[in-house]
């Protein structure tokens, strides 16, 4: 079995990727068993790693052999978007291993002949995300079930995936429980990806996402004190709705403690729960990231994720409408900023459509 780290994966956003050499070394440490061979074929070729080119090369090296290409079932769903995907199926059998329980890939796009080249591997799915692993590493913890100790040591010794936020993490871990800490890491990661996609400052987005819920586990009385010291009075709707306090107390705490002086980050935290009209790009990113981060699993989450792929505004319109409807149907008060956010997105969308017409 060949393990092939890619040079530049065509389907991944550029971002925090360890260098090719480091990834090759980590593969070697992780696959020491002699049944595996770590191949630098894609790294040696350089540039974007198209699977079809790798398979062509392998076919030349092993002309007599049948090739089986193992991917995650989530990647199978995107196969028809790959460069020369039809040739890929001619060169190799595709073996898809399920990444999550109950996932059934849609094969209707393939011809009968192509379907015969696709093998769904009947293996127990192993649900794990790279974000989860980075969190474990950032905390200096070991988890032999998820990452081999040798690889973990390598990552630490070479300071891979170090995003310079460890001081913030240390403070956060004193204020947040494990569940909220994990959520914050996921929002941070997601905000960075969105920032990359929509042209915002990636580092600011990463930090704002990480800190957005900083006072979520702070007691109500402590939050009220922080808010009072900030001099910003709570409105009537806010007083009876403690769920929105943490966006106000969070921003106030970050400012008061001197941890954050950047106004853009402060306002992204300040409005992440309710949203508002005329949101800045960073506010939109943190607001959306909070809804679609990897840890979220409410029923419509994939709908919102798809919307966010196309437009932040569409995603915000959907989520603010959802929030308004949910609150109203439970006889709960709706924060005026949420209503203004919803209206704003609706008008902007309408304008966009009118312009098209
Ligand atoms: Fe929050
Ligand atoms: Fe949150």
DSSP per position, 126-143: ----HHHHHHHHHTT---
Does the pLDDT at position 328 exceed 60?
Answer: yes
Domain boundaries in the chain?
2-138, 164-356
Who contacts 177 (Cβ-Cβ below 8 Å, separation ≥6)? 217
> Residue 199: its pLDDT value, please?
95
CATH 3.40.50.300 for domain 164-356: no
Does the pLDDT at position 290 exceed 80?
Answer: yes
Does the pLDDT at position 102 exceed 80?
Answer: no
CA of 348 to the centre of ligand 1 (A): 25
Ligand nearest to the CA of 180: 2
Ligand nearest to the CA of 291: 2
* Contact (CB, 8 A) for 105 and 77: yes
Does the pLDDT at position 187 exceed 90?
Answer: yes
**Residues 303-314, mean pLDDT to the nearest whole number:** 94
- The model's confidence at residue 117, banded by pLDDT at 50, 70 and 90, is very high
> Residue 10: its pLDDT value, please?
59
**Residues 236-262, mean pLDDT to the nearest whole number:** 95
Cα-Cα-Cα-Cα dihedral sign, residues 126, 129, 134, 135: negative
Alpha-carbon span 208 to 286, nearest angstrom: 7
**Residues 145-162, mean pLDDT to the nearest whole number:** 84
- Give percent above pLDDT 90 in the chain: 68
> Residue 14: its pLDDT value, please?
42
Q: How much is the mean pLDDT over the chain? A: 90
Ligand nearest to the CA of 269: 1
**131-135, 223-227, 300-304: lowest mean pLDDT where?**
131-135
pLDDT tens across 166-185, in order? Answer: 889 989 989 999 999 999 99
Region label for 54, one of left (φ > 0), alpha (ψ between -120 and 50) or beta (otherwise): alpha
**Residues 249-266, mean pLDDT to the nearest whole number:** 96
Provide long-range contacts, Cβ within 8 A and 24+ apart, for 230-238. 230/255, 230/256, 235/336, 237/333, 237/334, 237/335, 237/336, 238/335
Does the pLDDT at position 356 exceed 70?
Answer: no
- By three-state DSSP, how is residue 97 classified? strand
CA of 184 to the centre of ligand 2 (A): 7
94-129 in b/e form (b: 16+ CB < 10 A) is: bbbbbbeeeeeeeeeebeeebeebbebeeeeeeeee
Alpha-carbon span 55 to 114, nearest angstrom: 17
**Residues 259-285, mean pLDDT to the nearest whole number:** 97
> Residue 9: its pLDDT value, please?
64
CA of 275 to the centre of ligand 1 (A): 11
Cα pseudo-dihedral 72, 74, 75, 76, rounded to 10: 90
**Residues 57-66, mean pLDDT to the nearest whole number:** 95
**6-10, 182-186, 192-196, 298-302: lowest mean pLDDT where?**
6-10
Task: Quickly list DSSP for 267-291.
Answer: HHHHTTTT--TT--HHHHHHHHHHH
> Residue 16: its pLDDT value, please?
59
CATH superfamily for 2-138 is HUPs (3.40.50.620)
pLDDT tens across 329-339, in order? Answer: 999 999 999 99
> Residue 13: its pLDDT value, please?
45
**Residues 285-301, mean pLDDT to the nearest whole number:** 93
- The model's confidence at residue 90, banded by pLDDT at 50, 70 and 90, is very high
> pTM score > 0.75 for this model?
no
CA of 119 to the centre of ligand 2 (A): 39
Q: What φ, ψ does residue 215 adopt, rounded to 5°? A: -110, 15
β-pairing, 2-3 with 68-72?
Answer: unpaired
Ligand nearest to the CA of 190: 2
CA of 296 to the centre of ligand 1 (A): 13
- The model's confidence at residue 127, banded by pLDDT at 50, 70 and 90, is confident
């Amino acid at each position: 079995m060949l393990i092939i780290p890619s040079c530049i994966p065509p389907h991944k956003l550029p971002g925090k990727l360890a260098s090719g050499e480091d990834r090759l070394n980590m593969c070697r440490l992780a696959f020491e068993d002699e049944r595996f061979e770590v191949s630098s074929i894609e790294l040696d070729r350089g540039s974007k790693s198209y699977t079809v080119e790798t398979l062509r090369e392998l076919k030349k090296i092993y002309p007599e052999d049948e090739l089986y290409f193992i991917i995650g079932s989530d990647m199978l769903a995107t196969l028809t978007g790959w460069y020369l995907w039809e040739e890929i199926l001619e060169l190799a059998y595709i073996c898809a291993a399920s990444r999550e329980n109950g996932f059934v890939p849609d094969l209707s796009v393939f011809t009968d002949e192509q379907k015969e080249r696709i093998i769904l591997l009947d293996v127990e799915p192993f649900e794990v995300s790279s974000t989860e692993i980075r969190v474990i590493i950032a905390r200096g913890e070991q988890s032999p079930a998820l990452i081999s100790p040798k690889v973990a040591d390598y990552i630490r010794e070479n300071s891979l995936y170090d995003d310079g936020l460890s001081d913030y993490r240390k403070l956060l871990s004193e204020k947040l429980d494990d569940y909220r800490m994990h959520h914050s890491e996921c929002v941070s990661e997601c905000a960075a990806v969105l920032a990359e996609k929509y042209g915002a400052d990636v580092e600011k987005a990463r930090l704002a996402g990480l800190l957005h819920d900083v006072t979520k586990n702070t007691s109500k009385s402590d939050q009220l004190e922080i808010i009072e010291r900030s001099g910003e009075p709570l409105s009537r709707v806010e007083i009876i709705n403690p769920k929105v306090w943490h966006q106000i107390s969070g921003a106030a705490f970050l400012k008061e403690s001197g941890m954050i002086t950047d106004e853009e980050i402060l306002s992204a935290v300040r409005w992440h729960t309710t949203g508002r009209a005329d949101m800045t790009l960073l506010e939109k990113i943190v607001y959306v990231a909070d809804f679609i981060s990897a840890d979220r699993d409410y029923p419509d989450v994939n709908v919102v994720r798809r919307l966010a792929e196309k437009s932040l505004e569409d995603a915000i319109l959907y989520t603010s409408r959802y929030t308004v409807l949910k609150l109203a149907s439970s006889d709960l008060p709706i924060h005026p900023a949420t209503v203004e956010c919803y209206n704003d997105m609706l008008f902007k969308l309408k304008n966009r459509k009118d312009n098209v017409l």
